[in-house]
Amino acid sequence: MVGGLERGYPLRDFEPYASIIDCALANRGTAKGDRRPHPRYEVPIYVVDMCQALAHAVNAAGGGPMTLAEMIRLERTCTGADYPHKLAMRCHRLAGRSIPEEQTK
């Protein structure tokens, strides 16, 4: 899995979001043109596809309504080596799932 542990909270605890992100990152560049910028959102097409899947998962978990544009804005706030962890954790929170407070400090 891309990512790992942060403060003892494994990415697998942020399912299905961690798997969606992991799959998107592992497969980026395998489809022709998926690294080209999307004409509307100005991020790579694989990011748009990943964000669509994440928004659908958040909405299915009862955390919505979450639009594609909102998920793309959220994705843009996640940077650095712990990018997959941040994005999966934030999706998990949006879905209304609690994280022990000691894990968020």
- pLDDT per residue over 67-79, tens digit each? 999 999 999 999 9
Q: For the chain, what are the domain ranges?
A: 11-99
The strand pairing partners of 5, in sequence order, are 10
Residue 82: is its pLDDT beyond 90? yes
- DSSP β-ladder status, 9-10 and 5-6: antiparallel
Query: Do 76 and 43 meet the contact criterion of CB atoms below 8 Å apart?
Result: yes
Q: Report the predicted TM-score, pTM, of the whole model to 2 decimal places.
A: 0.82
Query: Do 77 and 58 meet the contact criterion of CB atoms below 8 Å apart?
Result: no
Length of the chain: 105
Work out the percent of the chain whose per-residue pLDDT is above 90: 73
Question: What is the Cβ-side half-sphere exposure of residue 74, based on CA atoms within 13 angstroms?
Answer: 22
